[in-house]
Amino acid sequence: MDSVCRWESPLDRLAEFLIAELAPYPGRAATVARTVTACVITMLLVMVFRIPNGFLAVFYALAISRSAPHSTVRNGFHIVLANVAALVVSLAGIVLFIDYPLPHFLFVVGIFFLAFFLTRALVSSATAFGFTIIVVAAASVPIIWARPNPLRPDLETTVWTAFGIMLGTLATMLTEWMFTFRGTAPFVVKQHELSRSRQMFVADAFSNPEYVKFALKGCLAASICYVFWSGIAWPGLGVCTVTCVIAAPVANVGSSRRRLTTRLSGLFGGGVICGIGSQVFILPRVDSIVGFTVAFAAVSAVAAWFVTSSPRLNYFGRQMALAYYLTIFQSFGINTSLVMSRDRLMGILLGLLVMWLVFDTEWNWA
């Protein structure tokens, strides 16, 4: 009887997987603490300055790489430059193509291609994300472009969105500097890290056809979302194109079914359970920014713990955080309305499903 293998149910395997992925390891708690601190600082700045699209600023503070704290501080200048470059490109597109629908559409499609190409071609993922998140968010405004005299609102929204993400970058740099250089983590500069910081593009950035193929897929997915969103004129779905960038599979880890399950689980956990749940049961009972901050920090800590898992699970944390921030950052105060939360979660769902259709189904891209 001892030779008989014990049968394990899928739930048993899932439990073993989660226990292994979520177990503490040296430095994990410190990374989560730095992440939550940066998110809280960014959230407070977003609320004080009343920054539109503040969820992107807070999400960027959580999603930026912290694998090497000293490298994050050292590369912070490059990240800010990427933020500024994205702002310049976005403003140029608004000013040049505001009265020309077809060139505007082609500009947006080109932005999508560039964003996904840089996601793979740049050495620093944080720098690439700092550029792509701004240009994609700024380019995806077809409802506003259709309004009379849209130049000023577009310019203001784009500038403030970029400014918010820059604040997220600076808050992350400040937090990493305080924790790293004040004794909680050793500062050791390795030669290969120095060489990587001096190199902007990966060695085969312009010779590997896989990067172009990846960019074409991402551009197709984002363009489908953009056209669908523009066609049905549902403003709440606007986050669908940004979701495509965030959901871009930087590595083929696990099956397509597992990736889709992880993405949808993060959407449900962050958006429905934490986001809508807090709007229904917590926020109506909170009468100060302190209570809001405590709830915000708690959810951010859970999401950050998942983000520090292996690539098989860390996207769950990113998706959870994005969905949660989208539901609670609807205005610059405590808002318990569920209408915008529903619409934004539907936008995330649209982006995830289109990304799954383009990247994870069997298409012949040869």
Compute the distance between CA of residue 92 and CA of residue 304 in angstroms, rounded to an integer: 35
Per residue in 165-197, pLDDT (tens digit) is: 999 999 998 888 887 655 544 444 444 444 555
Nearest to 293 by CA among 28, 39, 49: 39
SS3 for 122? strand
Per residue in 259-289, pLDDT (tens digit) is: 788 889 999 999 999 999 988 888 888 777 8
Nearest to 148 by CA among 89, 98, 102: 98
Q: What is the mean pLDDT of residues 91-96?
A: 86
Cα angle: 211, vertex 215, 218; to 5 degrees = 140
Dmax (CA) of the chain? 79
User: Over the chain, what is the mean pLDDT?
Assistant: 82
Nearest to 318 by CA among 90, 111, 125, 84: 125
Which of 199-203, 257-261, 338-342, 345-349: highest mean pLDDT? 345-349
Q: What is the mean pLDDT of residues 322-333?
A: 81
Q: What is the mean pLDDT of residues 26-53?
A: 91
In angstroms, the Cα distances linking 81 to 14, 88, 308, 314 are 42, 10, 26, 27
Least confident of 159-168, 185-194, 285-294, 315-324: 185-194
Residue with the bigger pLDDT between 208 and 335: it is: 208
Percent of the chain with pLDDT over 70: 82
